[in-house]
Every structure is written in structure tokens, then in C-alpha cells.
């Protein structure tokens, strides 16, 4: 394929007519443009619609194994330079093994380190993004330096160094995902190069012809055919894709079955272990389990190195029909809710919890996250009179380790204390501290869903489900509800830092929260007074309370306490 690359145009600030220097192993799609002094290293892929324009700011460097996806724009200002890893000055430096995804903008002066991931439509301008950072979709990074290994959530606007310094760390599953994207694009690079080589294409077509030219019943199935040809198996495309993902990530694969009578008690039994090294072998083993236990529930799951389950999904029900995972996709930029901090996505789908109505889907999800994280689970209750003084009492300790048993224990506690507040507790057994406190029942007996915290998917977020009603009260009287005061007390007792953020209605939709500052208080009275001051200062805006663990520099609480 011909590469559309041209020399830089002569201008008042540059008459060098510099041309791109592109390594022979790189693939530049003919529907992309590369202009001027651009250095592209080995094994880079530049997808259709990408514009790399070193005609004003110059030069550019793009490191080996990096992928620039569809619609990416790289440009730079005449003024301003960054120092690359080779200690030379560049308008734009993009390191090795980086992923600049669809429609992202890198505008110099800008530095993007090795193994970085820049999400869809995100912008990096006049900034440095350290090695190993992951920037999700629609984020703006400007005039700051992001330390190495930090995670920038979708929609974030990082325009001052204080915001950059308090970003959470990238987690292990994020690194795996970024590495997975590199692998996908390297395969695409090889494929595109082959597609432009008549000899390479002819060889593949000859192999396909052999596979489908049979003498009756004898076919030669390659691995790719076995994994993609769903018609050859009883499994759906989503289940095959789930198997492929588990194998690629190095997870072990397990299956369990249970009849209708024992389904309600969660008495699952294991099928024969799947010791497959390829998707084809895994499909064959899974089909064997489905056939052997026709008329029963069958579920598929993965097991990580920490012996924790991931992607637990029911794939067959008693009528014998194979049920594909609902819209299963390997983890992408949208995994904040479906994949928790430990990379787990358990499906509590056996029907007993949801049909009982005692626990909300959010509460079941919280339990899943706690179990996956190795945390202990507890319950506490208190009547209305003692609620104001915080005199909570413990329910029967929960020693269970399965989701079914834990849900049953939680429902027993709720049944035993109708007409009272009941809250779910998560406890870190090593540090002997609480990581979550969430009210799940109120005195009218209603089950409360936990108020979600969209800003941090990297940690277990403690939140109070009554934040909305209390926020309305605080907005009119600037007085804090008892729940907010209780949260302040918990943060102070745990040694967490306390801060406040605010945002107006227009920017609330894109999550552009601005920091109001930290609260330096030694007592709950001082903290409450400072918090009330912020509520008064930002009347007519959203205000949220933040709790930060100082050692790990991660957020443990985000809850909106005032609404417009």
C-alpha cells in the first residue's frame, strides 16, 4: 500500500522541507496523513483517518509497537517543546507500547510515556503523561504533569497539578487490558501488511480452500475456525468470546451444575475440570458438560491467580437451552461498573436474591465486590431513637464465603429487624478497618439501593443511600443530616483526609468537578462547620464529600450532599 506522507511545507518559521522517517515494519494506512519531521519506529500501526501533522510544531516521535487508531490527530504549536526519553527536544513525544485510541487529540507541546492508554476523544495539550498511565474517554489533560502509573477516569478535566497529584493508581487489570489492546493492534498491523501482499494473501486463501475442500466428512479445522464458527457448536458467540477472553488473560476455566431443586439453596457441583490450552478444546469440554447435565443449570466462570472467581455466568437453564452471556464483551473503556476493582464481574443471576426483593441489585453487587476483594462482611442495625446517637448493634456474624450464603444471612438480619435501620459493613481483615458502610434498609422497611459513586471505580466506595434526601435538606438550611455527620465521624476516626468538590448544573453532566479544598479538622464539629461553609458558598450547585486514604492516595468515599 502506498503511504500518504509528504514533506513539511515551507513556512516563515521552518523551511527545512523535512520528511517523515518511517520504519519499514510500521503500517501506515493510505487513508491517513503523515506530514513533516515525524519519526515512526518499528511495528507502529497508524489506522485510517489519522492525521500526524508536524508542519507547525516539530519534530514528532512515535515509539515502537504504538498504535494510533482511527481519527487520531497529532499536531503541535510552533512554540513550546518537551524533552523526550532520548533527552532531545520534541513538539510531541509518544513512547513505546502506547495506545492512542479513536478520535483522541495529542497537541504539542505534549509528552505521552511508554505503555500509556489514551481513551476515545480525550485531549492531551501542553502536558506530560507519565509512563503506564491510563486515560479513559472524553478526558482533558492540560498544563499539568501526570505522574507515572495514574488512572484518569472518563470525563475528567485535569487542569491543575493538585488534581493530577491526587489521581488514583492504575490497577493490575487495567495494565492487562492496555496490554491486550497492544496485542490486538499488532495482529491488525500484521493483517493489513499481509492484505497488501499478494503472496501472503494467496497462501491464506490456499489454506482456506484446503480446509473447506473435503472428501465427504473430513474437515481440517484451524483454531480460528473452531473459535469463531459458532454454527459448529451449541455455544453462542458471546460464550465463545468469554472463553477466548479467559484463556487470553491466563485464567483457569471452571463449570458447575445444579438441578432445579437444589438451585434455590445454591448447592452447585463442579463439572470435570477444563484443562484446555485452546478455544477449540475449551468449547469441546464445555459442550460435554452441557450435554451431560441437560435439564439443569450450568454456569461458566474463570479463576485468577489469587483463586478468585471472575466472570461467573449461567449459560444453561433447566429447559436445556444454552443461554449466552448478556452482551458479553471483553473489558473495554466502559468497564467501571461491570468490572470491579479486582477485575471481577460476578453474575448473581440464580434468581433467589432478586426475586426475594429484600436486597437491591446494587447491594448484591457490593457483596460481590467485597467477597472478591477478600473482605469480611458484617451487618448492623439500630432503631430510630438510637440512630441519631450512632448506637449501632451487630447482627449475627457472617462467616460465609459464597454469595448465596451471604445474601441469605443479610436477608435474615433484615427480617429480624424490620422497622429499623440496617447497614452493610465491609471489613479489611488485615488492617482491621472498615472499607464500606452502606445503609440498605430504613425504618419503613424499604430496601435502599446504595448511592453510587461514579468518580472512582478503583476502590470500594462507602456511601449512604439517603444522600439525595439529605442533600435537599442541606441545600435549604445548610445544616448537615445525621448521615453526613456520621460519615464525617467515620472518616476522622479512620484517619482519612476530607475534601470537598463542587460543580454547576451545566458541567455536572460531563463530570467536571472542581476542588473546593481540603478540610483540616480534628473533630467532627470542626469538620461539620467547615462543610456547612462550603455548602453556603456553593448554593445552587452540586457539592460532594470526599474521603481519601492518605497512604494509598485513593478515594474511599464520594457522596453528593447538596443538589441544585
Whether residues 356 and 314 share a domain: the answer is no
| SS3 state at 260 | helix
Whether residues 303 and 434 share a domain: the answer is no
The DSSP code for 230 is G
Q: Which CATH number is 296's domain given?
A: 3.30.190.10
Q: Is residue 340 part of a domain?
A: no
Whether residues 446 and 467 share a domain: the answer is no
Whether residues 414 and 368 share a domain: the answer is yes
Q: Is residue 395 part of a domain?
A: yes
Cα 276 to Cα 211: distance, rounded to the nearest angstrom = 23
pLDDT at position 389: 64
pLDDT at position 396: 83
Cα 481 to Cα 468: distance, rounded to the nearest angstrom = 11
As a dihedral over the C-alpha atoms of residue 243, residue 246, residue 249, residue 250, rounded to 10 degrees, the angle is: -110
**Dihedral-angle region of residue 5 (phi above 0 means left; psi in -120 to 50 means alpha; beta otherwise):** beta
pLDDT at position 314: 82
| Cα 500–chain centre separation | 24
Express each pLDDT in 360-394 by its tens digit.
777 887 787 778 777 888 888 888 777 766 677 88
Positions annotated as catalytic residues are: 56
Task: Report the length, in residues, of the chain.
Answer: 564
Whether residues 498 and 446 share a domain: the answer is no
Q: Is residue 444 part of a domain?
A: yes
Cβ neighbours for 246, distance < 8 A, ≥ 6 positions apart: 252, 253, 302, 310, 311
Q: Is residue 200 part of a domain?
A: no
pLDDT at position 90: 96
Backbone phi, psi, residue 249, to 5°: -85, 0
Q: Is residue 455 part of a domain?
A: no
> For residues 284-317, b (16+ Cβ closer than 10 Å) or e, as one string?
ebbeebbeebeebbbbbbbebeeebbbbbbbbbb
| SS3 state at 333 | coil
Q: Is residue 215 part of a domain?
A: no
On whether the CB atoms of residues 555 and 462 are closer than 8 A, the answer is no
Whether residues 321 and 435 share a domain: the answer is no
Whether residues 410 and 313 share a domain: the answer is no
Whether residues 368 and 442 share a domain: the answer is yes
pLDDT at position 225: 44
pLDDT at position 210: 66
pTM equals 0.42
Whether residues 313 and 388 share a domain: the answer is no
pLDDT at position 233: 52
Cα 462 to Cα 484: distance, rounded to the nearest angstrom = 12
Whether residues 435 and 528 share a domain: the answer is no
Q: Which domain holds residue 242?
A: 228-330
**Dihedral-angle region of residue 351 (phi above 0 means left; psi in -120 to 50 means alpha; beta otherwise):** left
Q: Is residue 202 part of a domain?
A: no
The pLDDT averaged over each successive group of 10 residues in the chain (564 residues) is 72 85 92 94 94 94 96 95 95 96 96 96 97 95 96 93 93 87 89 82 74 46 43 64 80 86 77 80 84 86 78 76 50 39 38 50 76 82 75 82 82 86 82 76 60 34 34 44 83 86 78 83 86 87 87 79 85
Among residues 450, 484, 499, the one where a domain terminates is 450
Backbone phi, psi, residue 320, to 5°: 90, -10
Cα 107 to Cα 93: distance, rounded to the nearest angstrom = 10
Q: Is residue 209 part of a domain?
A: no
Count structural domains, the chain: 4
Whether residues 259 and 152 share a domain: the answer is no
Whether residues 41 and 148 share a domain: the answer is yes
Amino acid at each position: 500500500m502506498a503511504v500518504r506522507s509528504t514533506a513539511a511545507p515551507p513556512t516563515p518559521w521552518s523551511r527545512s522541507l523535512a520528511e517523515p522517517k518511517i520504519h519499514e515494519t510500521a503500517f501506515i494506512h493510505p487513508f491517513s496523513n503523515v506530514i513533516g519531521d515525524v519519526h515512526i519506529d518499528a511495528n507502529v500501526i497508524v489506522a485510517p483517518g489519522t492525521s500526524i501533522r508536524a508542519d507547525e510544531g516539530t519534530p514528532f516521535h512515535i515509539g515502537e509497537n504504538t498504535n494510533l487508531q482511527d481519527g487520531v490527530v497529532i499536531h503541535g504549536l510552533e512554540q513550546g517543546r518537551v524533552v523526550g526519553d532520548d533527552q532531545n527536544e520534541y513538539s510531541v513525544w509518544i513512547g513505546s507500547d502506547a495506545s492512542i485510541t479513536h478520535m483522541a487529540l495529542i497537541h504539542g507541546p505534549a509528552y505521552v510515556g511508554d505503555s500509556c492508554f489514551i481513551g476515545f476523544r480525550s485531549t492531551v495539550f501542553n502536558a506530560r503523561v507519565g509512563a503506564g498511565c491510563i486515560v479513559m474517554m472524553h478526558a482533558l489533560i492540560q498544563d499539568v504533569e501526570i505522574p507515572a502509573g495514574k488512572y484518569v477516569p472518563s470525563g475528567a478535566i485535569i487542569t491543575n497539578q493538585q488534581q493530577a497529584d491526587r489521581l488514583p493508581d492504575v490497577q493490575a487489570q487495567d495494565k492487562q487490558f492496555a496490554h491486550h489492546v497492544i496485542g490486538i493492534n499488532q495482529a491488525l498491523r500484521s493483517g493489513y501488511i499481509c492484505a497488501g501482499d499478494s503472496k501472503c494473501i494467496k497462501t491464506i486463501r490456499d489454506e482456506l480452500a484446503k480446509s473447506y475442500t473435503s472428501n465427504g466428512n473430513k474437515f481440517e479445522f484451524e483454531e480460528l475456525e473452531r473459535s469463531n464458527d459458532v454454527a459448529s457448536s451449541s455455544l453462542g458467540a458471546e460464550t465463545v468470546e468469554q472463553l477466548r477472553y479467559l484463556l487470553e488473560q491466563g485464567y483457569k476455566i471452571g463449570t458447575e451444575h445444579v438441578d432445579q431443586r437444589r438451585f434455590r439453596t445454591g448447592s452447585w457441583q463442579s463439572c470435570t475440570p477444563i484443562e484446555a490450552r485452546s478455544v477449540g478444546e475449551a468449547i469441546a469440554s464445555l459442550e460435554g458438560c452441557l450435554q451431560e447435565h441437560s435439564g439443569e443449570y450450568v454456569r461458566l466462570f474463570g479463576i485468577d491467580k489469587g483463586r478468585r472467581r471472575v466472570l461467573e455466568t449461567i449459560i444453561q437453564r433447566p429447559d436445556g437451552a444454552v443461554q449466552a452471556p448478556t452482551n458479553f464483551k471483553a473489558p473495554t473503556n466502559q468497564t467501571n461498573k461491570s468490572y470491579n476493582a479486582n477485575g471481577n464481574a460476578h453474575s448473581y443471576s440464580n434468581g433467589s436474591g432478586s426475586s426475594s426483593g429484600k436486597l437491591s441489585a446494587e447491594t448484591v453487587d457490593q457483596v460481590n465486590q467485597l467477597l472478591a476483594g477478600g473482605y469480611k462482611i458484617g451487618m448492623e442495625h439500630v432503631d430510630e431513637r438510637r440512630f441519631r446517637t450512632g448506637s449501632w448493634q451487630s447482627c449475627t456474624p457472617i462467616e460465609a464465603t459464597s454469595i448465596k450464603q451471604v445474601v441469605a444471612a443479610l436477608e435474615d438480619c433484615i427480617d429480624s429487624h424490620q422497622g429499623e435501620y440496617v447497614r452493610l459493613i465491609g471489613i479489611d481483615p488485615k488492617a482491621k478497618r472498615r472499607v464500606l458502610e452502606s445503609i440498605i434498609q430504613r425504618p419503613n422497611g424499604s430496601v435502599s439501593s446504595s448511592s453510587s459513586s461514579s468518580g472512582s471505580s478503583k476502590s470500594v466506595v462507602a456511601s449512604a443511600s439517603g444522600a439525595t434526601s439529605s442533600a435537599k435538606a442541606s441545600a435549604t438550611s445548610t445544616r448537615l443530616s445525621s448521615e453526613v455527620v456520621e460519615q464525617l465521624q467515620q472518616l476522622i476516626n479512620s484517619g482519612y483526609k476530607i475534601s470537598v468538590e463542587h460543580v454547576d448544573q451545566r458541567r455536572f453532566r460531563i463530570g467536571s468537578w472542581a476542588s473546593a479544598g481540603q478540610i483540616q479538622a480534628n473533630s467532627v464539629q470542626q469538620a461539620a462547620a467547615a462543610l456547612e461553609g462550603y455548602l453556603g458558598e456553593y448554593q445552587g450547585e452540586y457539592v460532594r464529600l470526599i474521603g481519601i486514604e492518605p497512604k494509598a492516595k485513593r478515594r474511599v468515599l464520594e457522596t453528593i450532599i447538596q443538589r441544585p
